[in-house]
Amino acid sequence: MNKPSLLAMAVALAYVTTPLAAPFMPMDARGMAMGHTGVASAQRAHAPAYNPSLLAQADDSDDFALILPQLGVQVRDEEELAQTAEDISDDLQPRLERLIDGDGAIPGYEERIESLDAAIRAFDVAVRNALNSSGPIDQRLDDLATTNTALRSELDDIEDSLQEVNSVSTELTDALRSISGNPLSGRLGVAASMAFPGKQFAAAVSVRGKAMFSGRALFTDSDLGLIDAYAPAGLQYTRAAQAASDDVARALELAQDSPGQPEVILLAELNRDDNNNGVRDLEENLNNILGFDFTSEQGVEIFRDGTLTEEASDPDLDSRVEGVGIAIAEVGLSLAREFSIADRAVAIGVTPKVQRVSTFHYVTEVDNEEEFEIDDIEDSREDYSSFNMDIGASMRFGHLSRITAGLMIKDVLGGDYDYQATEVRTGLNPANPVTVKGGTISLDPQVRAAISYSDGTTTLAFDLDLIENDPVAYEIPTQYAAFGAEFDLWNTLQLRGGYRANLAATDSDVMSAGFGISPFGIHLDIAVVANPSKLEKEAGVALETGFYF
């Protein structure tokens, strides 16, 4: 009837178009496990993603390194949408669906309203016969009593159901309002790199792909108002019917208690005009029922002339799901060497890279009954080719040069990429789709500074974003401060941990952990990351294999 299952589907669709800010955060397992640090602590084949100058900070023993493959995924639920959506789909939506549509043994809202309408119309005929018929008074009294009893039975049946509909629909709309417009974050990364470190000349080739999406479910006031209006409309309708039934019950009781003149008493009671407005009270009540109209505060008509409207029984919803996404595939050549600046050895590295950028804009109405297909997103695809560059510098100092300071500017040239406008049908005017305007996704330069300590066994790292990074679309901005540690046992087992705070927002910090094994130069690294207060707020995992020689 009000398609509650489709409202739950809209929540599920939000998972397909998950939102994400665009932070400085490569998806490698070592860096993720260490709080997403790496600008001063990345090793060999990891360096192109964090700071290409680190290729020239290699030890004399460092040689060829290869990472293939590198995989990572991270999701963020800033407003705990997933838990609310689960409550909706597992509890509220099935309960309301059962109340509205019935479950076979128990009739639903629409069926109960139709049964009540039939009882009211039979009751109206009996009242008019009692007033106007010249038939036997006993027959008229029996007919009136029978139809009134049937009406009361229908009223009793629907009363408890309407109260439950009111309670569940209020819970549901409160839950939908709480998640409407809220983002759900996620990002996917895949990469491979090959590095040739060295002091005088170092190089690396890297291939990377990442996808970032921003999406949300928008539940309109008109749709939420429609759900909220069913119970109040039904309750007003039943109370009007109850008033007419009470009038007839009183008339029947008085007539049956007057055996000498039941017809006189009955007609007198049925023709009462306590309001002194020239209209019989009972006739006024019956007119209120048979002509009952109810329109929600948002303008949705629920009842017209005592019957449920088509708009209410099969509504055309105008809530929608919207997603904006960007996918970037890039090939980079990193070059680095060490220079002497003011009698200090400073490594400088650059990564010129060719990028293939694709933008997407997906919008659908929540009551779209067609199956979701990836082609629906592909239809909005816009492709761009661009050139960009990363620049990094690093310097070692301290006792035995165990401290490294690093600075990285990522995507120095930036870039603006448009996404298409798209049309969506709405319940307000189904014949004329609404155009949801397009926009621009900006990939601005990102600047990060870092410092690390390493003695060959223990590595400590601290990274800091120097500027705030804007989101892709609907989610929070990011400016990270991250700390990480690694303990290398016997050059074979690496234990890692870290913590990352977002200085641009509250309650979005994460803790991370991971390990690596590296027998005979073959590396396998795994990392996990999660919000310490609630796992649902943010979680991720990364896996990579590598070969160091």
**Predicted confidence (pLDDT) per residue in 85-102, tens digit:** 777 778 887 888 788 777
pLDDT at 30: 95
Q: What is the mean pLDDT of residues 339-364?
A: 92
The fraction of the chain above a pLDDT of 70, given in percent, is 90
Question: For residue 4, what pLDDT is reported?
Answer: 42
The mean per-residue pLDDT over the stretch 354-374 comes to 78
3-state secondary structure at position 541: strand
Over residues 391-421, the pLDDT tens digits come to 999 999 988 889 999 999 999 999 889 888 8
- Listed as own residue / partner, the contacts of 163-167 with beta carbons closer than 8 Å and 24 or more positions apart are 163/231, 164/99, 165/96, 165/99, 165/100, 165/109, 165/230, 165/231, 165/234, 166/231, 166/232, 166/235
The answer to whether the Cα torsion of 57, 59, 64, 67 is positive or negative is negative
Domain ranges of the chain: 22-79+188-219+318-548, 86-175+223-313
What whole-number distance in Å separates Cα of residue 454 and Cα of residue 414? 33
Cα–Cα nearest to 524, from 540, 497, 543:
543
pLDDT digits (tens, 9 = 90+) for 121-148: 898 888 888 877 777 888 888 888 899 8
For 58-67, 240-249, 384-393, which range has the lowest pLDDT when averaged over its residues?
A: 58-67
Q: How confident is the model at residue 372 (pLDDT cuts 50, 70, 90)?
A: low
**What's the whole-number mean pLDDT along residues 359-386?**
78
Q: What are the residue ranges of helices labelled H in 296-390?
A: 310-313, 374-378
Confirm if 538 and 530 have CB atoms less than 8 A apart.
yes
CA angle 401, 405, 410 (to 5 degrees): 145
Which DSSP state fits 264? H
Residue 403 backbone phi and psi in degrees, to 5: -105, 135
Read off the pLDDT band of 460 (50, 70, 90): very high
For the cut 90, the answer to whether the pLDDT of residue 184 exceeds it is no
**pTM of the complete model:** 0.75
Q: Are 76 and 185 in contact (CB under 8 A)?
A: yes
Distance CA 320, CA 367 (A): 8
Q: pLDDT band for position 452 (50/70/90)?
A: very high
Predicted confidence at residue 14, as pLDDT, reads 40
- How far is Cα 119 from Cα 303, in angstroms, rounded to an integer? 17
Higher pLDDT, 378 or 335: 335
User: For residue 215, what pLDDT band results from cuts at 50, 70 and 90?
Assistant: confident
- Span 195-206, pLDDT tens digits: 998 878 899 999
Contact 70/526 with Cβ under 8 angstroms?
A: no
CATH architecture under which domain 22-79+188-219+318-548 falls? Beta Barrel (2.40)
Nearest to 477 by CA among 486, 467, 485: 467
Both tokens of 276, joined, read: 């002194």
Residues making up the chain, counted from first to last: 549
pLDDT at 440 over 80: yes
Would you place residue 464 in the very low, low, confident or very high pLDDT band (cuts 50, 70, 90)? very high
The per-residue pLDDT for 369 is 58
Cα dihedral sign, 421-422-425-431: positive
Kindly give the interhelix angle for 109-132 and 221-256, rounded to the nearest 10 degrees.
30
121 token code pair: 């119309």
User: What local confidence, expressed as pLDDT, does residue 104 receive?
Assistant: 73
In the three-class reduction of DSSP (H, G, I as helix; E, B as strand; rest coil), residue 193 is classed as strand
pLDDT value at residue 136? 84
pLDDT band at 473 (very low <50, low <70, confident <90, very high): low
Q: What confidence score (pLDDT) does residue 547 get?
A: 92
If one counts every other C-beta atom within 10 angstroms of the C-beta of residue 428, the result is 14
Q: Which residues of 392-422 are buried (b: 16+ CB within 10 A; e: fewer)?
A: bbbbbeeeeeebbbbbbbbbeeebebebbeb
**For residues 159 and 170, what is the distance between their CA atoms, to the nearest angstrom?**
17
pLDDT tens digit sequence for 507-547: 789 999 999 999 988 999 999 999 988 887 889 999 999 99
User: What is the model's pLDDT at position 6?
Assistant: 39
pLDDT tens by residue, 219-232 = 888 888 888 888 89
What's the rounded Cα separation, in Å, for the pair 453 and 221? 55
The alpha carbon of residue 399 and the mean position of all alpha carbons in its chain are separated, in whole angstroms, by 51
**Residue 480 burial (CB count, 10 A):** 24
Q: Give how far Cα 252 sits from Cα of 123, 153, 260, Å.
A: 13, 17, 14
Contact 224, 173 (CB under 8 A): yes
pLDDT at site 101? 77
pLDDT score of 385: 94
Burial of 381 (0-12, 13-18, 19+ CB in 10 A): middle
Look at residue 492 and tell me whether its pLDDT is greater than 80.
Answer: yes
Task: Give the highest mean pLDDT range of 105-119, 297-311, 336-350, 375-389.
Answer: 336-350
**Which range, of 235-249, 414-428, 440-454, 520-534, averages the lowest pLDDT?**
414-428
Average of per-residue pLDDT values in the chain: 84
Q: Under a CB-based contact definition with an 8 Å cutoff, are residues 521 and 65 in contact?
A: no
- Residue of higher predicted confidence among 430 and 382: 382
Q: How many other C-beta atoms are found inside a 10 Å radius of the C-beta of residue 7?
A: 27
| Cα gap 339→57, rounded to integer Å | 11
Q: Are 58 and 198 contacting, i.e. CB atoms less than 8 angstroms apart?
A: yes
Find out whether 444 and 432 touch, Cβ atoms under 8 Å: no
